[in-house]
Amino acid sequence: MNRILITEDNSRISSFLETGLQASGYTTLVIETAKEAIELAHGDDFDLLILDLGLPDQDGLNVLATVRGQGETLPIIVLTARDGLDDTVQGLEGGADDYITKPFQFEELLARVRCSFAIVLSPAPSKKRDCTAADSRWICSLVRCGWTIAKSSYLPVSFCWWKC
Ligand code: CA
């Protein structure tokens, strides 16, 4: 459970991501196009997709729509320069599990990657509550898995702690 597909057409950023994630124990594959992302997101080859939105062939939002439209539940973290609130909401509502804006700190990205894997690996929740309409899909996932959520001042970024 540590294979990460990186869709990023900026080689400097993808190289930075790949180096850091591999040093943290993850297996990575870098691709540059939406077409490849859509093809590779299916099946069991990867456990997480890191997705840029500004891709050369299609908008990354199309990747989200296509992959989710086909019922794929692979966790997806959007990593993009689009930092408007509307962009973030559009990404999360479009099926992203998390949304990170560039420029980013690798440590934060790594923490969010670990959160994504923790959600997938976590056992049945013992302390769950119902999600409210205000909760994002990502936060709902955490809550269902028994995490405590503390929203930061800059929504929708949240921090999470494992309670068990
Ligand atoms: Ca790009």
What domains sit in the chain, N to C, each tagged with a CATH number?
3-121 (3.40.50.2300), 133-163 (no CATH)
Distance 87 CA to ligand 1 centre (A): 15
Distance 10 CA to ligand 1 centre (A): 6
- Can you give the pLDDT at residue 104? 95
The answer on pLDDT for 41 being more than 70 is yes
Task: Among 59-63, 112-116, 126-130, 152-156, name the one with the lowest average pLDDT.
Answer: 152-156
Nearest CA to 50 among 127, 102, 125? 102
The answer on pLDDT for 114 being more than 50 is yes
Distance 77 CA to ligand 1 centre (A): 14
- Can you give the pLDDT at residue 117? 81
- Can you give the pLDDT at residue 150? 44
Residue of higher predicted confidence among 43 and 24:
24
Q: How far is C-alpha 25 from the chain's CA centre?
A: 18
The answer on pLDDT for 14 being more than 60 is yes
Nearest CA to 73 among 37, 44, 32? 44
CA distance 22 to 106: 12
What angle (nearest 5°) sits at the alpha carbon of residue 90, between those of residues 88 and 37?
A: 95
Main-chain dihedrals φ then ψ at residue 5, nearest 5 degrees: -95, 120
The answer on pLDDT for 50 being more than 70 is yes
Main-chain dihedrals φ then ψ at residue 151, nearest 5 degrees: -70, 140
- Can you give the pLDDT at residue 138? 56
Distance 131 CA to ligand 1 centre (A): 33
pLDDT over 90, % of the chain: 66
pTM attached to this predicted model: 0.75
Distance 57 CA to ligand 1 centre (A): 10
Confidence of residue 156 (pLDDT cuts 50, 70, 90): very low
Task: Among 32-46, 77-91, 113-127, 136-150, name the one with the lowest average pLDDT.
Answer: 136-150
- Can you give the pLDDT at residue 43? 82
Distance 160 CA to ligand 1 centre (A): 28
- Can you give the pLDDT at residue 140? 55
154-163 average pLDDT score: 39
- Supply 115's token pair: 């959160």
Classify 148 in phi/psi space as left (phi over 0), alpha (psi -120 to 50) or beta. beta
Q: What is the DSSP secondary structure assignment for residue 41, as one 8-state letter?
A: T
- Can you give the pLDDT at residue 144? 52
